[in-house]
Amino acid sequence: MEDMILQVNHLSKSFGTHEVLRDIDFTVKKGDVTSIIGASGSGKSTLLRCINLLEIPTSGEILYHGKNVVAKGFNAPAYRSHVGMVFQSFNLFNNMTVLENCIVGQRKVLKRSREEARAHAMQYLEKVGMTPYINAKPRQISGGQKQRVAIARALAMDPEVLLFDEPTSALDPEMVGEVLSVMRSLAQEGMTMLVVTHEMAFARDVSNHVVYMNGGVICEEGSPEALFGDPQKQETRDFLSRFRNN
Amino acid sequence: MEKLTQLCADIAKLWAKYGGSYLTGMRNTLVLALVATAIGCVIGFVCGILNTIPCTDRDPLPKRILLRLIRIIVRVYVEVFRGTPMVLQAVFIYYGLPYFTDNAVKFTNIWVAAMLVVSINTGAYMAESVRGGIISIDPGQTEGAKAIGMTHVQTMLHVILPQALRNIMPQIGNNFIINVKDTSVMFIIGFPDFFAAHRAAVGASYLYFPSATVEMAGYLCMTLIASFLLRWVEKKMDGSSNYELVQEDQLTMTAGTYNHPDKGTPFDEHSREYQSERRRRGRKGVR
């Protein structure tokens, strides 16, 4: 059980009377690439936001290396620095250049020296192919480029697990490819990833575990071969058939 | 025409006699407005920041009570000083303090009194501007900062406030210009500003209209220069709209680099650079 990073037990979340997540159980092991698929409004993003404590779950627990992060008095900022997140809307800091975006967290949170942070940031910016743009402001680069910088920013913190919240949903079709290829290479390097996505090809080819959510519960989960090849539930079959028809 | 020449003559007469006091008045007005706006901004930022500290029901009870208390105090301050005329605030504070303390506490320096009143007044307006500036920043910025492990203070300091400051810059400018004009009410406690110079001049010369003309022109000059400078500062804050591509590999060309057509490009087999590069490599025996 040593390589268990995250363990979600009986997680529920309500906004007022609206129950968004109901009794969610799942685990993330080191090196796992888990894709969470499902229709809009099925609670995928809320689940991811709960894991990063951007939303506080109504009940249940989230264990990070056996420690419950939902407990009162838990140091949320320190936990978040180990769990990177990439957003649908990029959320790059608009007042900083590309390079500063990737440095500020290392400097302020991890207390690295300027030189060390810069070298580390450059290493990841190179990986995502953004080194020529280090002096650009976020408003001056394209959506796909922003998302690649956002990935580099998250990676520069050396996270144990990286959460992706629909990273390609706000992008033009031709920009989706550049972001997915970065994610693909990360997966191949053994990065632990949890990806909420509508890219079925990515879920099928890259991840080793797929979770299908429907109506706030985990409807079906399993290996991509099993889930895409031989779905057990009718809801899963219906959902997937809509993608096959396209 | 005759009237205009008369006016010019009167202004010349006034200026010859009171030019110095007009100029000192202008200087005093500008210094007071500048310092009071700066202190007011500080007060406004403190209030705005205190007002936007997130408070959830997961926080411990003492913290929640403290935050609630702070919000009430800031609210009362803002409502009182935004809702009463500055002229009265000046009188109230300048004469009120000695009155309540039996002359134990009183203002010995008129500058301190004037700055206090104008700063507190500006602070009340700025508190709301800053709060507006902070909540106008996309929540995604906060989430992005939180997601890399920043605390609330770090998020505010490095991400939110720099952007909020840029957004409320026009408001700060507004307040400065308002202060340049409205410090004229400080004559009530005897502050020697530009308007006080007018009162002194007309008291002795009875040239009301010519002096008012000087005042009008003087105030307009000050505010026009101020708005020009503020625009310039805003432009500076926005930074360059261009950025330089950074080349790591000197042989790759970035898009948009342009050479004269006759010269060709390094990718052009007929180009001199390409040929000389090939010759150089050939001599070295590399490849």
pLDDT digits (tens, 9 = 90+) for A49-73: 999 999 999 999 999 998 999 988 8
Profile chain B (287 residues) by mean pLDDT over runs of 10 residues: 90 91 94 96 94 83 92 95 94 88 82 94 94 93 94 94 93 94 92 92 90 94 94 87 67 44 46 56 52
* B254–A77 C-beta distance less than 8 A: no
**Alpha carbon distance A98, B26 (integer Å):** 45
Among chain A residues, CA nearest to B142 = A91
What are the tokens at B153?
A: 């203070």
Query: Torsions phi, psi of A13, nearest 5?
Result: -145, 130
What's the angle, vertex CA A80, arms to CA A211 and CA A216, rounded to 5? 30
φ, ψ dihedrals at A16, nearest 5°: 65, -125
Measured in angstroms, the CA of A211 and the nearest CA of chain B are apart by: 23
Q: Do B149 and A132 touch (CB under 8 A)?
A: no
Tokens 């209209």, located at residue? B209
Cα distance between residue B154 and residue B141, in whole Å: 12
Contact B146 A80 (CB under 8 A): yes
Taking CA B36 as the corner, what is the angle to CA B30 and CA B37, rounded to the nearest 5 degrees? 90
d(CA B158, CA B137): 13
- Interface contact A94-B254, CB threshold 8 A: no
The three-state secondary structure class of A35 is: strand
Is A207:A35 a contact under the CB 8 Å cutoff?
yes
Residue of A89, A93, A135 lying closest to B246 (CB–CB): A135
Assigned token pair, B16 = 């010859």
Interchain contact, A105 vs B148, CB within 8 Å: yes
Give how far Cα A171 sits from Cα of A28, A34, A60, A94, A222, Å.
27, 22, 34, 18, 28
State whether residue B56 sits within 8 Å of chain A by CB: yes
Q: So what's the pLDDT on residue B107?
A: 82
Specify burial of residue B67 (Cβ count, 10 A radius: 0-12, 13-18, 19+): middle
Residues from chain A that touch B159, judged by Cβ atoms under 8 A, are 93, 95, 104
CB contact B4 to A (< 8 Å): no
Residues of B within 8 A of A92 (CB-CB) are 144
Give the amino acid at A109.
Answer: V
**Residues in B touching A135 (Cβ below 8 Å):** 243-244, 246
User: Which whole-number Å values give the CA distances from B59 to A59, B53, B62, in the listed order?
Assistant: 17, 12, 9
Chain B partners within 8 Å of A158 (Cβ)? none
Tell me the two tokens of residue A134.
């280090």
Q: Among B138, B150, B158, whose Cβ lies nearest the Cβ of A77?
A: B150
CB contact under 8 A, A95 and B145: no
Q: Do B144 and A93 touch (CB under 8 A)?
A: yes
CB atoms within 10 A of CB B32: 24
- Is residue A84 within 8 Å of residue A154, measured between CB atoms? yes
Residues in chain B: 287
For chain B, counts of helices (H) and of strands (E): 10, 0
Residue with tokens 């935004």: B82
Residue in chain A closest to B139 (alpha carbons) equals A91
Exposed, middle or buried, B59 (CB in 10 Å: 0-12/13-18/19+)?
middle
Question: Which residue of A85, A91, A95 is in closest CB contact with B163?
Answer: A95
The phi and psi torsions of B92 (rounded to 5 degrees) equal -60, -45
> Is A109 in contact with B148 (Cβ distance < 8 A)?
yes
| A chain contacts of residue B158, beta-carbon cutoff 8 Å | 93, 104, 108
CA distance A228 to chain B (A): 32
d(CA A3, CA B120): 58
Please, which residues have CB within 8 angstroms of residue B225's CB and are 6 or more apart in sequence? none
Nearest CA in chain A to B246: A132
- Let me know how many helices (H) and strands (E) chain A has, helices first: 9, 10
Cβ count within 10 A of residue A44: 26
Set of chain A residues whose Cβ sits within 8 Å of the Cβ of B146: 54, 77, 80
Q: What is the pLDDT of residue A3?
A: 80
Q: Is B153 on the interface with A (CB under 8 A)?
A: no
Mutation target to probe the A interface, by most A beta carbons within 10 A, among B143, B148, B168, B237 is B148
Q: Which residues of A touch B162 (CB under 8 A)?
A: 95
| Cα of A58 to nearest chain B Cα, Å | 11
- As given in the structure block, the two tokens for residue B150 are 């920043």
Q: How far is CA A105 from CA A155, B194, B207, in A?
A: 11, 50, 65
pLDDT of residue B88: 94
Strand segments, DSSP code E, in chain A are 4-15, 18-29, 33-38, 59-64, 67-68, 83-86, 161-165, 192-196, 209-214, 217-222
Give the whole-angstrom CA distance, residue B129 versus residue B132: 5
Rounded-to-integer distance, Cα B168 and Cα A37, Å: 42
> Could you give the CA distance from residue B225 to residue B69 in angstroms, rounded to a whole number?
42
Tokens of B176: 């400065």
Distance separating alpha carbons of residues A109 and B194, to the nearest angstrom: 51
Q: Give the chain A residue whose CA is nearest to the CA of B156.
A: A93
Residues of B in contact with A104 (CB under 8 A): 148, 158-159
Report the C-alpha gap between B190 and A177 in whole angstroms.
71
- Give the pLDDT band (50/70/90) at residue A175: confident
Helix boundaries (H) for A37-133: 44-51, 76-80, 98-108, 114-127
| A81 → chain B, closest CA residue | B149
Residue with the two structure tokens 């480029």: A145
